[in-house]
Each structure stands twice: as structure tokens, then as C-alpha cells.
Amino acid sequence: MRVYYFIQTCSDSEAETESKQRSPSPVNHLRWNWRSALQFWSLAVVLSQVGSRVSSLIVLEFSLRAVSAWVSAGQDASGRGLDLLLIQCQFSLGCGLSCTMVFLHQGAPHSTLSLFLAAALSWALASVSHSLWLHVARLYPLHSTERYCGKCISLLTSGHTLLASLQRVVVVFFALATVASTTTVYDHFLSQKDALKLWTPLTLCYTMLVFYIQEDQNRHAGPEALLHSVVLRLGSLLVLMLTVGDWSDVLHVLITFLGEAVCLLPSWDLLQAVLEEDDTQVSKSEHSSSHRTSDHNRKSSSDHS
């Protein structure tokens, strides 16, 4: 996402000159390296402490939010809701990976090794993405004009499709994770006798809450609204676990607060980029509409003359 928004910024000649002036120094690259490593391993530790029951509920809750955002995306021409949802999916994506691996390796003699395998694969993907971002941040403004770098030429021609491709990959993954999460929730929460009598009203109330949070976030965009929605969602999940879960589930929900903070706080620049791009699109649309209105008025006055 950082590569995508950097390329969008560099598409303007003035923004390209500014990006050259603001290109990160080697010290900043070193700082980004240790920050990214710290964020990755902190998130890996947090995800290893969250049980599959709570992870499954978080995946289903995010899938419900995704459906709500997709429904409201038709009313939001800028598509800002989907971009914000992509930023917020990081911890839910990790929960989906962990609960899916637990589901696939259920009953295996060395199932814990699957989590280490998932962590190694995630580290490899994170390293590739991070090296691409550092290359683009340093050299894309130069290489996109000189056209002698294969990576930058590919990004110049197809970089505008990065976000759409990322959205499709996330949708496919959550579709698979939802199956594993639904099975886990049924085995642990819904298989008991008369469980549906308790879960049906709770599910309806939580669904209405999720739709309310989504609409409120669309109306009040900004970092504060995002943090407010995170606290409200996880607080509601905490109340739900106090009602139908056990004390281990309550502890795991408290750990998810830390996991969301580990994911969202380093993504503050992405949130600002989404909001700035939305403001730019709104200003451009207002300018074009005012320009069309003035042209129409001039044409009407000339016809009247």
C-alpha cells in the first residue's frame, strides 16, 4: 500500500520533485528496518497467544465488516471505506492465518510446527515487500524517468493495479478463513444444547453494532474515528466473551487490543495517505463540476444574446 500511494504521489510532476527532496536517507532506512522487524515479531508473539476461539470470532467479525463496507461502497464514490478496511485488516488477517492453520492441522502430532512455518513464510513475504518499498522510496522518482530499472518500469506501467490486486488476494484469503472460523465457532460455541437460543440475539445485536460502526466511520473519517471503532468493536467482543466464554477467552480478547495497536499505530502514514487522496479527489470533482457549471452558464448567456 505504501508503494501504491507513493507511485500515485509521484505521478504528478510537482509531487515527484517533492518526493525526490523527501527521499529517505540511509539512517531512515535503518530505522525502518528495525521498526519493521520489531513490529513483525511483536505481532507474531501476540498472535501466538490468542486462542483459535477468539481468532475465529475476530475473523467472522471482520468478514461482517467487509460485507458492510462493500454494501456501502456503492454510495461512496471515492472507495475510501474499502481502503480503510484494507488498513484495518492486518490483525484480522493474522488471526485468520493462525486459526486456519490450527484447523488444517487439528489432531496432527506436530501441529505447533505449522505456526512456525506460517511465521517463516510471512517473514519472507514481509522482507520482499519491505525491500521493494525501500527501493521505490529511494529510486523510483529517478528510475521512472530514466526507464532503466525493471522493477520501476513494471510499477510505472502496472502500479495502479497494486491496490486492486491486494484487495482480491485478501478477499480470497478471508473466504477460506471464514470456513475454518465458522467450523471452529460451531464446535466450541454452537454445538451445545440450546446454544442457538443464546447466540441468536447476541449475533443480531453485534451485527447491528458493526453496521453502526461502519456508517459512523464513513461519516467521521480520521485517526480518532478509527481508534474509536477499534475500541468499540473489541469492547463489544469482550462483553460477549464475558457472557458466553470463559476466562481464557476474556484474556485473549484483552491481548487483541495490543495486537490491533501493533498493527494500526505503524500504519498512521497509510491512513493519512488514504484521507489525503480522498480530499484530493473531492476537490478535483468539485473543481470539475464548478468548471462545467461555469461553461454551461457562459453557453446559456451566449445563446441568450
pLDDT tens, 126-169?
888 888 888 888 888 777 777 778 888 888 888 888 888 888 99
**What is the mean pLDDT of the segment spanning 11-16?**
51
CA distance 140 to 10: 8
pLDDT over 60 (residue 288): no
Residue 291 within a domain: no
Which H or E run includes 51? none
pTM of the model: 0.80
pLDDT at 27: 38
Q: Classify residue 299: in a domain, yes or no.
A: no
pLDDT the model gives residue 210: 74
The pLDDT of 253-257, averaged and rounded, is 92
For the chain, give the percent of residues with pLDDT over 70: 73
Q: How far is CA 250 from the centre of its chain?
A: 24
Q: 273 or 241: which carries more pLDDT confidence?
A: 241
Query: What is the structure's pLDDT at 252?
Result: 92
Provide the domain count of the chain.
1
Residue 255 has pLDDT above 90, yes or no: yes
Cα–Cα distance, 32 to 21 (Å, whole number): 18
The per-residue pLDDT for range 194-215, each reduced to its tens digit, is 667 667 777 777 777 777 776 7
Provide the pLDDT for residue 19: 43
Q: Decide if 167 is inside a domain.
A: yes
142-169 core/surface letters (b: 16 or more CB in 10 A; e: else) = ebbeeeebeebeebbeebeebbeeebee
296 within a domain of the structure (yes/no):
no
Task: Report if residue 305 sits inside a domain.
Answer: no
pLDDT band at 110 (very low <50, low <70, confident <90, very high): low
187-197: pLDDT as tens digits: 887 777 666 76
Instruction: Identify the band that residue 251 occupies on the pLDDT scale cut at 50, 70 and 90.
Output: very high
Predicted pLDDT of residue 136: 85
Q: If DSSP codes are grouped into helix, strand and coil, which group holds residue 286? A: helix
Q: Is there a domain that residue 64 lies in?
A: yes
pLDDT of 26 over the 50 cut: no
For residue 290, pLDDT beyond 60: no
Question: Does residue 282 carry a pLDDT above 60?
Answer: no
Q: Has residue 294 been placed in a domain?
A: no
pLDDT value of residue 257: 92
Residue 303 lies in a domain: no
Structural domain including 92 reads 2-284
